[in-house]
Amino acid sequence: MAISSFTKAKIFCRLSSTQFISTVPPKISQFRNKIFLANLLRRYGFSPSQLHTFLARNHFLLNHSNVHEIQSSLNILLSFKIPQTCFISLLFDCPAVLDFNFLKKWQIGVSEFGDSGVSPVAICSALALSKRFQIDSDLFLDRVGGLKDLGFNGGVLTRVLERFPRIIMMNGDEICEKIGLLEGTGISRYGIERVFHYFPEFLGFDVENRLKPLLDEFLELGFSEDEIRDEIIRDPRVLGMELGEMSRCLGLLKTLKCRVPIKLKIFSEGEFRAGFGVKLRVDCLCKQGLIRREAFKILWKEPRLVLYEIEEIERKIEFLVHRMKYGVGSLVEVPEYLGANFEKQIVPRYNVVEYLRSKGALEFDVGLKSLIKPSRLRFYNMYVKPYPECEKMFGRFAEGTGLQQRHPVGMWKLFKPQKLSETKEDVNNMKSFMEPLV
């Protein structure tokens, strides 16, 4: 039977329509999902920059068969009362946690121990770990119950789960082994809870290969068992020292060349506390981007750094990098920067130099060494005295301090300060100390 032209056209339109439906809708569907997710995540606290990065990293969410399940998953996460910063961090670190079936099981489990004192931050940490290692809520509940049976109160339990969620993957014997080690050093039950509260990461260390050799090293260095016990209770982070680290820190302290009052203040609380103080400052400098060798060199050149608080050191480095635009490596050449007073020396001098640079009054670039090393009087005479408007930002000297008579404004010629070099004896002492650190 002959097929009419109208019938052929009808069949062609149907085939074309079928082909269009099979190819184009996935792109349209993905685009619609992206718009839906973008609007959804913005309502849950994502900033535009976070939103762009999150969706670019997690294309699987755009191909989700049911994007409304993602909304249900977000609602479950919010029901855990997780703080906003932890909530966004959880999704960035482990986006697979948006699995609806996974969260539904956890919602049932959380409702069972909601009054047990476990904080929302602890739940957040446990969720990320559980999804990565396929741990269900029942095992988590069992581990929480086991920790309670060991006598841990709500505060310690919450702290451990927040800072060291991997404890839910440990069995009771491993935990008891750590407790037995602490009891063997004479630490009381209160002291053990303090260790778990302030340094729960200690639970991840191996007893035979890490903790026992560390305690033996302390004894070999001449510290008594009572002193070791007291220092552990005072600051449990002592247990986080690497093998041989205390020896290197004490070796640095013995080679310091500084004024007697500074050395007496460094050792005012004993050698153990002084050595641990060096370790904390070295870790702080390494966290900012320096290697350990450079950190030890800075501390050797600027011993006052051992006396400064970690927060103060971090504030100075942040100002150096983000405001002054120097690399953190410049501290190796000018460690005196970290020993200078932030409010009275660093900030005023920087403000003066920046002002003069903006006015075109400097004929050369003032480096970090020229900014920090000159004495207050020398810096004043070179950069402040010729320009009265700088005195307010620098701070005037008191009357009768013996300043030279003011020269006419604009007639003062600036010269680069001479390079300050170390003595040969200092270089040899530094080389002998740094050789074991290579």
Helix (H) or strand (E) holding 314: helix 310-318
Closest-CA residue to 343 (of 312, 306, 374)? 312
Q: What is the pLDDT of residue 114?
A: 56
In the predicted structure, residue 77 carries a pLDDT above the cut 50:
yes
Range with top average pLDDT, 90-94, 329-333, 389-393? 329-333
Q: What is the pLDDT of residue 118?
A: 74
Q: What is the pLDDT of residue 416?
A: 43
Which residue, chain included where needed, has tokens 């630490």?
187
Q: How confident is the model at residue 71 (pLDDT cuts 50, 70, 90)?
A: confident
pTM exceeds 0.85, yes or no: no
Q: What is the pLDDT of residue 423?
A: 54
3-state secondary structure of 303: helix
In the predicted structure, residue 2 carries a pLDDT above the cut 80:
no
Q: What is the pLDDT of residues 280-313, one digit of tens each?
A: 999 999 999 999 999 999 999 999 999 999 999 9
Question: How far is Cα 39 from Cα 96, in angstroms, rounded to an integer?
Answer: 20
Share of the chain above pLDDT 90, in %: 41
Q: What is the pLDDT of residue 331?
A: 95
Q: What is the pLDDT of residues 378-436, one digit of tens each?
A: 999 888 888 888 888 887 654 444 444 444 444 444 444 444 345 555 545 555 545 54
Spatial contact of 97 and 103, defined as CB atoms under 8 Å apart:
yes
Q: What is the pLDDT of residue 25?
A: 52
Q: What is the pLDDT of residues 20-54, one digit of tens each?
A: 334 445 555 677 778 888 888 888 888 888 888 88
Residue 304 is classified by DSSP as: G
Q: What is the pLDDT of residue 181?
A: 94
Provide mean pLDDT across the span 186-200. Answer: 92
Spatial contact of 247 and 210, defined as CB atoms under 8 Å apart:
no
Question: How far is Cα 61 from Cα 38, in angstroms, rounded to an integer?
Answer: 11
In the predicted structure, residue 169 carries a pLDDT above the cut 50:
yes
